[in-house]
Chains A and B, each alone.
Chain A
Amino acid sequence: MANKKINKKDIAKLLNQWGQQFAVFVPSRESGVAAMAKWDGKDTSFLDWYRNTVVPPKSNFLPPMEEMFRFQKDKEGYQIELPPDGGKQLIFGIRPCDARAMAIIDANFKDLYQDPYYLSRRNSAVLVGLGCDNPSESCFCTSMGVSPAESNDVDLMLTDIGDEFLIEEVSDKGKELIAKTTGLKGATKDDEAKAKEAKKTSYDKVTRKLDTEGIADKLQASFDDEDFWEKVAAKCVSCGICTLLCPTCYCFDINDELVRQQGTRFRSWDSCGFPTYTKMPMENPRAEKWRRVRQKVCHKFEFYPMSFDVIACTGCGRCIRLCPVNWDITQVLESVPAKAKVRK
C-alpha cells in the first residue's frame, strides 16, 4: 500500500480540513515556551523552529488542572454535575518519545480502575507524529527503545523529506482518517528512499546514550545505600520540574473547593519530589530529600517495570534540559553501583 505525502505549504489547508472534525493542537510558542496549543487556523511557523514542547502532550489527556465534578448539597443529599464532554482532539506534531510515553502511562490508567477522564480523551484522540530531524543534546530516546523518527504509538507518522512530509498510516484510526482526507499526493519510490535516509540520519544524531541493562536489579541492590543516594540527591532542590514536565509521570492530587453548600472537585498535577507528597497526619516517610530522589529514580526504572513490564522513561530529555541545577538522570543511572553495598 503506497504512502501519501503533502507539501509543507499545504499543511495549513490540511489542518483546517482536520479541524472540521477535531480540535486540532499544534506546537506553538508563547513567550518562548513551546507547548501544544489550539490551531489558530493559519500559523504554521512552528515548522521552522519546532524541536519539542516544554509541556509534554500528557497535558492534553491529563491536564494540569481539571474539574472532576461540581456538587451541591441540599435536603436530599448531594447533587453531582459532571463536566461537559471535551470533544475529539488531534495532536499534530507529537514526537515519537512523547507518543511512546502516552502508551506507557495508558497502562496505569487502564489497570484496576478505568479512569474515565483520561480514557475518554485518549480514546477519541488522533496522534499525528512528526519525526525529529534535529534532536537535542539532552535526548536519549534511542537508549530507551524509541526511535526519533519512527513510532508505533501514533496514528499517522510524518517524515520530513525536504519540501514535503511523507505520511505513513500506522494505526487503523490513521487509515480511516486518511481515507477521509483530500488533497494528499501519492508518495514515490524516491520519496520513500528519502524518508528512509532521513530516519537514519535522525537516529544517528542522538548522541546521548544510557545503558539500561540490568538497571532494575542494580537499583534494587542499591536501595538501602543511603550514602549513594545522599550524594545523588545533594544538589536537587526538590522542585517539581522533572516530574511535572515528564511525559511518563502521572501523579495527581485531588482537592475540593467549597463555597457554603456548593463545591467543585479538582484534579491537578502533583509531584513525588515535593516534601509534603507523602506527608500524613502522623509521619512523612519521605521527609528526607534523598528518599524522594531515590523514589523518583526507582519508580521509573524499577517499580513501574515490575508492574507493567516497561521502563517509565522514553529519553525525551526534558528533565535534563529544564532542571535548574542540571541534575542528570543518565549520569545518576550510570553511577548506580553494580553490586549491593553490605548493610551496616
Chain B
Amino acid sequence: MLKDREMEQRLRNEARTLLEQGKVDWFIGFEPGSLKFATTPLITKDKNDTERLVINSFIVNNLADFLTQIKGRVGIVAKGCDSRSIVSLIQDNKVAREDVVILGVPCTGLIDLSKVEKLTGKYRDELDDITREGNKVTIKVNGNKKDFPTTQLLFDHCLACELPTPKEYDVLLGEPSPPIANPVAQEKIEKLKQLAPEERWGVWEKELSRCIRCYACRNVCPACFCQRCFVEETEPQWVFPAPRWQDNLMFQIIRNIHVAGRCTDCGECERACPVNIPLRSLAREMYDIVGELFQFKAGMDKDAPPLLTHYEEEEAEGIFR
C-alpha cells in the first residue's frame, strides 16, 4: 500500500471536486508530515491544498476525531477503523450521515515505526527508506537493504483488524483488502491474562506510574467527544487531578468503560501515549468483552442503536443474583 499512486491520484481528484462543487465545506485527509515517514492531518477549505493529500503506510491518525469539532459538511478520508468510528458517531447522533462524504481507503495495515526502531536498532531518522511490496517490507539503512515480513512491522491493532475496508463509504478509492486477523496481535493481552489476578493489577500499577495525564489518549479518540470530561469535574471530583498511579488508573478504567461499544480498536490511544503505556491492552479487552457479552461490534451498522442504549429481554445472565 506504500505510495499507491492510483489511489492517491483518485483521492486528490475527488477531494478537489468535492470542494470545487461546494459539496463539502471542509476536507480532512493526510499530507506529508515534518518528520521522516510521518504524515499529518490536513484540514482545509482550499481546493488547492488537495494536491498534498497522500495515502501510504503511515496514515495513522483517526480523522473521525475531528468531526465533532468541525461545523459544516465534511469530506473525510477513512480507513476501515476510521469509517467505523464515523458510523459510531452517526449512531450516537453526533454526526449526520448526510453531512459527511466518506472517501474509503482499503487499508492493508500501517507500519509501526516503534517496531521498526526496535527491530533495526536504529532511530527512524537514521533510516534511508522504508518500502513495501506484497508481504514484505524493505528497510534501507546506510545503503544496505533488509527485508522483514509485514506481520513483524504492522501495528498490533492492524494485525487484529476485522474490517480494513470501510463498509460505509461514498467513494471507495481502491480494491477492497482482506482482514489480516493475525493471532500475534493478541499476544500482549493473552500474556496478561495468563498472569494471576493479583499480578495483573501490579502490572497496571507499574504502567500507569509513568502517566503524566496529558490526556492525549482521550483527545485523539473519536469516541471521547464530551464537552466536559469527567476528569475535569470538580463537583464532585471523581478523579484527583495529580498524576498518581491510582488516579491515572482510575482515569483509564472509567474512560474505557465510557467508550465501551464505541471504541473501534483504531490503536490511536496507545500510539499517541508519549510514555508507551500499553493502552490498547485495555481498549481491546473492552472491545472483546462487549463483543462476547452482547455480540456488539462498534460502528458496523449506522442504523443500529448504540451499545448502552440497547438491551435484550434476557442477557448477561449470572451477573445479577
Task: List chain A positions with a Cβ less than 8 A from chain B.
Answer: 30-33, 51, 54-55, 64-65, 134, 136-138, 234-235, 237-241, 244-245, 253, 255, 257, 266, 268-269, 271, 274-276, 289, 320-322, 324-328, 330-331
A238 / chain B contacts, CB cutoff of 8 Å: 219
**B216 and A240: CB pair below 8 A?**
yes
**A138 and B35: CB pair below 8 A?**
yes
**A325 and B41: CB pair below 8 A?**
yes
**B242 and A266: CB pair below 8 A?**
yes
The residue in chain B whose Cβ has the minimal distance to the Cβ of A139 is B125
**A324 and B210: CB pair below 8 A?**
no
Q: Does B39 sit at the interface, judged by CB under 8 A?
A: yes
CB proximity of A103 to chain B, nearest CB, Å: 23
**B242 and A322: CB pair below 8 A?**
no
The residue in chain B whose Cβ has the minimal distance to the Cβ of A234 is B43
CB proximity of B216 to chain A, nearest CB, Å: 4
**B241 and A268: CB pair below 8 A?**
yes
Q: Does B294 sit at the interface, judged by CB under 8 A?
A: no
The residue in chain B whose Cβ has the minimal distance to the Cβ of A238 is B219
Residue of A31, A137, A289 near B276 (CB, 8 A) is A31
Q: Among B178-186, B255-263, B267-275, which stretch is in contact with chain A?
A: B267-275
Q: Knowing that A239-B215, A326-B39 are A-B contacts, what are 16 other residue pairs whose CB atoms are under 8 Å apart, sorted by A's residue number?
A: A31-B207, A64-B212, A65-B242, A136-B125, A137-B36, A234-B66, A235-B41, A235-B42, A241-B214, A241-B274, A245-B214, A253-B242, A268-B213, A269-B243, A320-B35, A330-B34
The residue in chain B whose Cβ has the minimal distance to the Cβ of A48 is B121
**B35 and A240: CB pair below 8 A?**
no
B65 / chain A contacts, CB cutoff of 8 Å: 237
Known contacts: A239-B215, A268-B243, A324-B272. The answer to whether A137 contacts B35 by CB under 8 A is: yes
A134 / chain B contacts, CB cutoff of 8 Å: 123
Among A253, A274, A321, A324, the one with the most B-chain Cβ atoms within 10 Å of its Cβ is: A324
Chain B 64-103 interface mask (CB, 8 Å, partner A; 1/0): 0110010000000000000000000000000000000000
| Chain B residues with a Cβ closer than 8 Å to the other chain, count | 42
Residue of B41, B213, B276 near A240 (CB, 8 A) is B213
B42 / chain A contacts, CB cutoff of 8 Å: 235
Among B35, B42, B43, B218, the one with the most A-chain Cβ atoms within 10 Å of its Cβ is: B35
Q: Does B40 sit at the interface, judged by CB under 8 A?
A: yes
Residue of A235, A274, A330 near B215 (CB, 8 A) is A274
Q: Does B220 sit at the interface, judged by CB under 8 A?
A: yes
Q: Does B114 sit at the interface, judged by CB under 8 A?
A: yes
**B275 and A33: CB pair below 8 A?**
yes
The residue in chain A whose Cβ has the minimal distance to the Cβ of B124 is A137
**B34 and A237: CB pair below 8 A?**
no
Q: Which residues from 238 to 295 on chain B have a C-beta closer than 8 Å to any C-beta of chain A?
A: 240-244, 268, 271-272, 274-277
**A255 and B240: CB pair below 8 A?**
yes
A237 / chain B contacts, CB cutoff of 8 Å: 65, 216, 219-220
The residue in chain B whose Cβ has the minimal distance to the Cβ of A269 is B212
Chain B 35-77 interface mask (CB, 8 Å, partner A; 1/0): 1101111110000000000000000010001100100000000
Leading 9 A-B pairs by shortest Cβ distance = A268-B242, A324-B272, A239-B216, A137-B125, A326-B40, A326-B33, A240-B214, A237-B219, A234-B43
A234 / chain B contacts, CB cutoff of 8 Å: 41, 43, 66
Known contacts: A33-B275, A137-B36, A239-B219. The answer to whether A255 contacts B242 by CB under 8 A is: yes
**A239 and B272: CB pair below 8 A?**
yes
B170 / chain A contacts, CB cutoff of 8 Å: none
The residue in chain B whose Cβ has the minimal distance to the Cβ of A330 is B34
CB proximity of A260 to chain B, nearest CB, Å: 16
CB proximity of B5 to chain A, nearest CB, Å: 23
Complex CA–CA separation, A269 to B125 (angstroms) = 30
Known contacts: A245-B274, A324-B271, A326-B35. The answer to whether A30 contacts B216 by CB under 8 A is: no
The residue in chain B whose Cβ has the minimal distance to the Cβ of A31 is B276
Known contacts: A54-B274, A244-B214, A255-B240. The answer to whether A235 contacts B43 by CB under 8 A is: yes
Known contacts: A31-B210, A324-B268. The answer to whether A240 contacts B215 by CB under 8 A is: yes
Among A237, A275, A327, the one with the most B-chain Cβ atoms within 10 Å of its Cβ is: A237
**A289 and B69: CB pair below 8 A?**
yes
Sampled A-B contacts (24; CB under 8 Å): A31-B275, A31-B277, A32-B118, A33-B210, A33-B274, A33-B276, A55-B275, A64-B212, A65-B242, A134-B123, A237-B219, A239-B216, A239-B218, A241-B272, A255-B241, A266-B242, A268-B213, A268-B241, A276-B228, A320-B34, A320-B35, A324-B271, A324-B272, A326-B40
Q: Does B232 sit at the interface, judged by CB under 8 A?
A: yes
B232 / chain A contacts, CB cutoff of 8 Å: 274-276
Known contacts: A31-B207, A320-B34, A325-B40. The answer to whether A54 contacts B242 by CB under 8 A is: no
CB proximity of A340 to chain B, nearest CB, Å: 22
Complex CA–CA separation, A62 to B210 (angstroms) = 16
Known contacts: A33-B210, A330-B34. The answer to whether A65 contacts B244 by CB under 8 A is: yes
The residue in chain B whose Cβ has the minimal distance to the Cβ of A268 is B242
Residue of A55, A64, A324 near B216 (CB, 8 A) is A324
Complex CA–CA separation, A64 to B123 (angstroms) = 27
Complex CA–CA separation, A55 to B210 (angstroms) = 10
